[in-house]
Structure 1
Amino acid sequence: MSTQNYLVISALGKDRPGIVDELSKAILNIGCNIADSRMTVLGGEFAILLMVEGNWNTLGKLEEAIPALEQQLDLTIIVKRTEARDSTARALPYVVDVVSLDHPGIVHQLANFFSQRKINIEDMATTSYAAPHTGTVMFSVHMTVGIPADLHIATLRDDFMEFCDTINLDAIIEPAQR
């Protein structure tokens, strides 16, 4: 019986075309597979998170190849062994979208709201942009949260909307479409 093992890879380096091609080719050539990934450009830096799967031996080979990959690709790479996500967790996936005038602390306030209710933030992306016509700096947040199945959704939604009103955030919270 062959069980899959997992390795999380975090890599950061100056943005340039071809990084994903080169990194994914190296992973494939060692015999591993990219099971999940997130990548983005922040400023002039490219950042990537990968969850790579393979048998114990191929992941070991990949771990051994990291110093050479760092040199070859001019990236800072961190790796950590992990396991498959617990599929028995009873959480309902919801999407949260927030837009407001940009000001410090928005991410912390949202994180605190969900943390206080034992709701896990599973994915989050934020961005700042200039509003059309006025040029006012706006801030948007898109996140997926895992709401415990025993939490009363209507009460949570009411609490969240009231919370957002008090700190002047436009927001929606709705079931994730999978």
Structure 2
Amino acid sequence: MNKALISVLGTDQPGIMAAVATVITEHGGNIENLSQTLLQSVFGALLMVSMPEDKQCEELHEALQQVGQKMRLSIHVDPWDEQLTPWQENTPEVQPYILTVIGPDRRGLVAEVSTHLARHGVNITNIQAIFKGGKNPMDNLMVFEVDVPRSTVMQDLRDALDEVGQRLDIEIDTQHRKIFESVSNISN
């Protein structure tokens, strides 16, 4: 099987996924993984697609370009021959955690938090950030879903993140995913 990585960006409107998925299906493709989101009014999606051996990514790219022109979307198709990183080749045993960051918006905030996570071998699997500006802490929220190696000393990681929080006047909370989900269920 050939694989393709497809990215779709543009102003949100109904029918984007329907149009893209239909073209993929018409070209014999199967969507294996999909992540789609809205950032304000911007639609964004990444799709991992398997294609039959006799199909070329160029054909799919050309067909998707027609959809892109009609709907004013930027669509890119890349053949995907996965090359494992050293981390993926020796993935440590991990535990899922959720980090929430609340506080005033600051330039470099994402860079600062993600750099400290990387220093501790933590892999970010998903980030959502909503920055509305201003000083109201609840108007600015980031949620990091991360995989923390079991070998990580959690108190060292928490101490490093607390130092970032104090310096940037933000609150960083770290919880195991199971605890986070349990607390969320109780709150609802």
Q: Same fold (TM over 0.5)?
A: yes
Cα deviation, residue 7, structure 1: 1.9
Deviation at 1:11, TM superposition (A): 1.1
- Distance, in Å, in 2 between the alignment partners of 1:135 and 1:98 is 13
Write the distance in 1 (CA, Å) between the matches of 2:33 and 2:56: 15
User: Structure 1: 5+ residue runs without aligned partners?
Assistant: none
Instruction: Report 1:1-178 matches (<5 A).
Output: 4-58=1-55, 60=57, 61-82=59-80, 83=82, 86=88, 89-90=91-92, 91-129=94-132, 138-177=139-178
Quick one: distance in 1 between partners of 2:99 and 2:12?
Answer: 29
Alignment check: 8 A CA contact 1:22 1:73 kept: no
Q: Which one has a larger percent strand, Structure 1 or Structure 2?
A: 1
Moved more, 82-91 or 50-59: 82-91
Kindly report the root-mean-square deviation, in angstroms, between the aligned alpha carbons of the 2 structures.
3.0
103 and 130 in structure 1: CA distance in 2 versus 1, 3 angstrom threshold: closer
Equivalenced residues, count? 173
**Range that drifts further, 162-171 or 14-23:** 162-171
One-letter amino acid of the counterpart of residue 167, structure 1: L
Shift of residue 121 of structure 1? 1.9
> What's the % identity of the aligned pairs?
24
Equivalent residue of 2:139, what SS? strand
Q: Give the Cα–Cα distance (whole angstroms) in 1 for the partners of residues 89 and 49 of structure 2.
A: 18
Structure that is richer in helix per residue: 2
Aligned partner of residue 56 in structure 1, secondary structure = coil
Q: Distance in 2 between matches of 1:37 and 1:70?
A: 18
Equivalent position amino acid for 1:89 in 2: T
- SS of the equivalent of 1:101 reads coil
TM-score, with structure 2 as normaliser: 0.74
CA distance in 2, matches of 1:57, 1:93: 40
**AA paired with 2:46?**
L
| Cα distance change on mapping 1:79 and 1:92 into 2, 3 Å | farther
- TM-superposed CA distance for 1:44, in Å, is 3.4
Q: Any gaps of 5 or more consecutive residues in structure 2?
A: 182-188
For residue 140 of structure 1, report the CA deviation from its aligned partner.
Answer: 0.8
Task: Calculate the TM-score normalised by the size of structure 1.
Answer: 0.77
Please state how far the C-alpha of 1:110 moved relative to its aligned partner: 0.9
**Cα deviation, residue 50, structure 1:** 1.6
Note if contact 2:165-2:172 (Cα within 8 Å) is conserved in structure 1.
Answer: yes
- Is the 2:6–2:49 contact (alpha carbons within 8 Å) kept by the matching residues of 1? yes
| Cα gap change, 1:72 to 1:145, in 2 (>3 Å) | same
**Secondary structure, aligned partner of 2:103:** strand
Moved over 4 A (4+): 84-88, 134-137
8 Å CA contact 1:92–1:149 kept in 2: the answer is: yes
Contact 2:113 2:161 in 1 (8 A): no
